[in-house]
């Protein structure tokens, strides 16, 4: 009788071990086997959501095989790290460790926004707000935070010129302060890498370089013309000639809220420190956000004797050394060009 009981106990133990081994094998497979399918919509983790609720939500959506097993793995294998809030997408089936790794690292969905070169501070604020990354007025306030650039430009009164034009990727919910800080960090990184090494021997200083570069940026976006445009302004500064830069007057009118897209002759007498037709030298500060290419051009202008340039109306310019040459170019590329074009359009519309 005792023998039979002992055999039964051994059998039960063996069966228990087999069941436990099978359960362990199932659990291991369940944890490491990719699960779920690509989610068309986002899975959003709100700030403050508990890990248990997050895992239950993932299981309910079919993105996680077993929330309880995931919780055991998270606590006992990974040490119970926090799962980060944000918007997630699962584009392919993932194992439980894969899902948890994504949430632990905060691999959230980001959205692109492009700030083109030559935007003013206000235009950048409007572009960011229009793309859905925050409130325009909050952006404008954040762009007054000169402490972000004070070591490079202690005279800065706003961040004009220091919001680097580029394509950025931000997660939904990123604060306006962090967005602006990212733009400034990008400027600092690009400036310190590509521009600062060229400052030696220049009397422009950081603010002067960015200011002159911002004028160059507004005058041309062609890489083959930046150094030529910069040379015109460098030559004018060298001989004490006014800059006569239309973009600085346009900027002054934007600041005053009076810019309507047209620059008129009376505007050349505008009472503003940014009116480089009246006030000699560089304007008080940058008038837009320039690229590295324009900043390099400001420090390394072409070796030329040019003092003037005029648009060919196709994005390129004609450069000249004397006022007489310039006046002829103005006649050809402005007065005659537009007169002939309007005449052609008139005949076309009449026919």
Task: Tell me the C-alpha distance between 249 and 5, whole Å.
Answer: 103
CA separation, residue 145 to residues 15, 176, 248, 287 (Å): 71, 12, 23, 17
Q: What is the pLDDT along the chain (351 residues), one digit of tens a residue?
A: 675 555 655 545 555 444 444 444 545 566 767 866 665 568 999 989 999 999 999 999 888 989 999 999 999 889 999 999 989 988 888 899 989 999 999 899 999 999 999 999 999 999 999 999 999 999 999 999 999 999 999 999 999 999 999 999 999 889 999 999 999 999 999 999 999 999 988 889 999 999 999 999 999 989 999 999 999 999 999 999 999 999 999 999 999 999 998 999 999 999 999 999 999 999 999 999 999 999 999 999 999 999 999 999 888 999 999 999 999 999 998 888 788 778 877 754 443
Q: Which of 176, 194, 172, 87 is nearest to 126 (CA)?
A: 176
Question: Hunting for tokens 């909050």 — which residue is that?
Answer: 138
Given a contact cutoff of 8 angstroms between Cβ atoms, the answer to whether 143 and 168 are in contact is no
Q: Which two tokens stand for residue 275?
A: 């009116």
Q: Coil, strand, or helix at residue 337?
A: helix
Could you tell me how many helices (H) and strands (E) the chain has, helices first? 13, 6
Q: At what angle do helices 96-105 and 2-32 cross, to 10 degrees?
A: 50
Q: Which two tokens stand for residue 89?
A: 């997408």
């Amino acid at each position: 009788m005792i023998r039979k009981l002992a055999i039964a106990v051994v059998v039960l133990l063996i069966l228990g071990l087999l069941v436990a081994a099978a359960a362990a094998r199932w659990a291991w497979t369940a944890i490491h086997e990719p699960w779920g399918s690509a989610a068309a919509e986002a899975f959003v983790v709100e700030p403050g959501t508990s890990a248990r609720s997050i895992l239950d939500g993932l299981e309910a959506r079919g993105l996680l095989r077993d929330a309880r097993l995931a919780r055991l793995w998270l606590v006992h294998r990974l040490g119970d790290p926090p799962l980060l809030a944000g918007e997630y997408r699962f584009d392919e089936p993932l194992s439980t460790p894969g899902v948890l790794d994504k949430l632990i690292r905060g691999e959230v969905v980001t959205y692109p926004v492009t700030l083109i070169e030559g935007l003013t501070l206000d235009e950048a604020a409007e572009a960011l707000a229009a793309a859905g990354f925050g409130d325009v007025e909050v952006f404008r306030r954040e762009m007054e935070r000169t402490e972000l650039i004070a070591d490079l430009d202690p005279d800065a009164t706003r961040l004009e010129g220091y919001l680097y034009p580029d394509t950025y990727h931000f997660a939904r919910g990123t604060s306006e302060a962090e967005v602006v800080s990212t733009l400034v960090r990008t400027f600092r990184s690009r400036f310190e890498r590509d521009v600062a090494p060229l400052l030696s021997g220049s009397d422009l200083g950081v603010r002067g370089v960015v200011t002159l570069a911002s004028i160059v940026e507004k005058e041309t976006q062609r890489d083959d013309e930046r150094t030529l445009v910069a040379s015109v302004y460098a030559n004018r500064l060298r001989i004490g000639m006014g800059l006569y830069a239309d973009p600085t007057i346009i900027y002054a009118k934007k600041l005053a809220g009076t810019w309507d897209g047209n620059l008129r002759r009376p505007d050349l007498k505008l009472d503003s420190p940014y009116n480089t037709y009246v006030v000699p030298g560089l304007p008080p500060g940058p008038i837009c956000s320039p690229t590295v290419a324009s900043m390099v051009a400001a420090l390394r202008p072409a070796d030329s004797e040019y003092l003037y340039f005029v648009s060919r109306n196709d994005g390129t310019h004609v450069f000249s050394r004397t006022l007489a040459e310039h006046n002829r170019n103005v006649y050809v590329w402005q007065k005659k060009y537009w007169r002939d074009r309007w005449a052609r359009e008139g005949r076309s519309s009449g026919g």
